[in-house]
Amino acid sequence: MGRPRGFDETEVVRAAAALFAHRAYDGVSIDDLVAHLGVHRNSLYKTFGSKRGLYMAALRWHVENQARPLIAAIGEARDFAEAAHRALAVHGDGSALDLLLMAAVERAPADPEVAAEVTAVLDALDEALAADDGAPAPGPAGTLTSALLGLRLRARTTSSGAGPE
């Protein structure tokens, strides 16, 4: 019988999501993960299989715990201005769009599994924007989604940035 796990897997995945959202997949090494998460290298490999395995767990956690709740809040907004305010809000370690944005730019073009996750979230965001009373039709909703992601990207590049170092 092996030793019991000495770390909270959900907390490790959450912290990894914040790190990947701030520095991107290629900007985070295994050594960075070990140092930032406080988990031994062997434990990371045993639990997640690889850096990519941890990244996929972090991306899925981000989608379910940050992106989907944000999309629900956007869908409940009274108008686009309120929806944009909710989408661009920064809390604690960044925006609920940050890991999605990084995944879309960096990993989705090279990784079909990441592309599928990103596409599903972007489609849901388009639907939430199109479902708003007085909101534009579904085609323009995609443009609004792109604008929101562009605004978040610009905010990341013009501020000191929020998130783990």
In a domain, 165, yes or no: no
The model's pLDDT over 46-83, given as tens digits with 9 standing for 90+, comes to 999 999 999 999 999 999 999 999 999 988 888 888 88
pLDDT-wise least confident of 80-89, 90-99, 142-151: 90-99
Structural domain contains residue 152: yes
Q: What does the DSSP 8-state code read for residue 29?
A: -
Give the pair of three-digit tokens for residue 37. Answer: 């998460």
Burial annotation 83-97 (CB, 10 A radius, 16+ → b, else e):
bbebbeebeebbbbb
How many CB atoms neighbour CB 35 within 10 A? Answer: 10
Q: Return the CATH number at 81.
A: 1.10.357.10
Question: Is 105 a member of any domain?
Answer: yes
How many structural domains comprise the chain?
1
- Which of 46, 86, 85 minimizes the C-alpha distance to 69? 86
Which residue in 11, 5, 24 sits closest to 107, CA to CA?
Answer: 24
Query: 142 lies in which domain range?
Result: 9-158
Residue 150 lies inside a defined structural domain of this protein: yes
